[in-house]
Chains A and B, each alone.
Chain A
């Protein structure tokens, strides 16, 4: 019977330094004519210091490896053509002080930005005009309008980020989660081209 292996690489894998990666770590495998367990247990590579933080495993490496061991095997690669292995060192989580600093930075920056925006579009004048249009009285400081406005500002942002309806009305991701995903995808795309040893050797 003909030996056939179908391989679907995962697009990313997180691993620790000096780990030995087996095929089962980075791919889903279906086999014909060979025991599946035997294939999935094959070591693919060992992560070394030289890899630093990222190692790209190209599908061609896997095909070459399998053909070296089983000479008459037919390997079919389905889906992603490389796995990006992120090597996590034992670095501890961000320092609480650092986190507080970033938090404060964002807090102050956001406040400053909104004040600049209000000055920029003459929001005070607009508020005085709106207040006059509705109540018919001209006041210098229409706080009855402006305090609800300020609260609404926060509500609107939370609404946009799906904080209000989360897990209640729908399960759709927040734009921030989508943005994080896009960022990761872009990074992966860049890495798969620029860190891929298979291409470097050919150039």
Chain B
């Protein structure tokens, strides 16, 4: 009984730390305010918070309990797209990507061409990702 209680306390503490870290991570990157800005729904920010929290809990449950919903392939496409958009926002929000541009533009004299360079990064990510899933993963298993 006492060891179960101990485990529960450790689990709770663990979850608190990880949950705090996750929220801090998403806050630092500023993805939520960015999306709210883009869609002019800053007044609904509290709902977005709730969405992040319920999403995190749902993710935790799926990864721990391993449920099987048995839905059609169709849903997988939507979830994949959603995952991708979120990771894309994450990748774009990492300041390293942003800091490269002003320096490149100044040093190499490419001011006004930053949009084209942005496309290089976007296409690089998409094609790199496709290559990874379609070919690279199979190379590893050979």
A residues apposed to B, CB below 8 Å: 91, 93-94, 98-99, 102-104, 106-115, 117-118, 124, 127, 129-136, 140-165, 169-170, 172, 175-176, 179-180, 182-184
* Range class of the B interface residue count: 35 or more
Instruction: Assess whether B44 is interfacial by the CB under 8 Å rule.
Output: no
Give chain A residues whose Cβ lies under 8 Å from the Cβ of B34: 160, 175
Residue of B84, B103, B117 with most partner-chain A CB within 10 A: B84
Query: A117 to B128, alpha carbons, bound, how many Å?
Result: 11
A-B pair count, CB < 8 Å, reads: 230
Chain A residues in 8 Å Cβ range of B38: 159, 162, 164-165, 169-170
- Tell me whether B20 is interfacial, beta carbon within 8 Å: no
Q: Are B131 and A132 closer than 8 Å at their CB atoms? A: no
Alpha-carbon distance between A114 and B118 when the two chains are bound, in angstroms? 15
Q: A110-B121, A135-B76 are in contact. Are A103 and B116 (CB under 8 A)?
A: yes
Partner-A contacts on B (CB < 8 A): 31, 34-35, 37-40, 62-63, 66-73, 75-93, 98-106, 108-110, 113-114, 116-118, 120-134, 136-138, 141
A39 to chain B, nearest CB (A): 34
Q: Would you call B92 and A103 a contact (CB within 8 A)?
A: no
User: Provided the pairs A99-B110, A135-B71 are in contact, do residues A144 and B131 lie with their beta carbons within 8 angstroms?
Assistant: no
Query: Is B78's CB under 8 angstroms from A124's CB?
Result: no
Q: Cβ of B126: which chain A residues have Cβ within 8 Å of it?
A: 150-151, 153-154
Q: A115-B136, A179-B102, A183-B102 are in contact. Are A133 and B69 (CB under 8 A)?
A: yes
- Asked, given contacts A135-B70, A144-B76, A147-B80, whether A154 binds B125 with beta carbons under 8 Å apart, the answer is yes
Bound-state Cα–Cα, A165 to B99, Å: 23
**10 closest Cβ contacts across the A-B interface?**
A156-B88, A152-B84, A111-B128, A110-B124, A183-B102, A160-B92, A148-B80, A136-B70, A156-B85, A149-B84
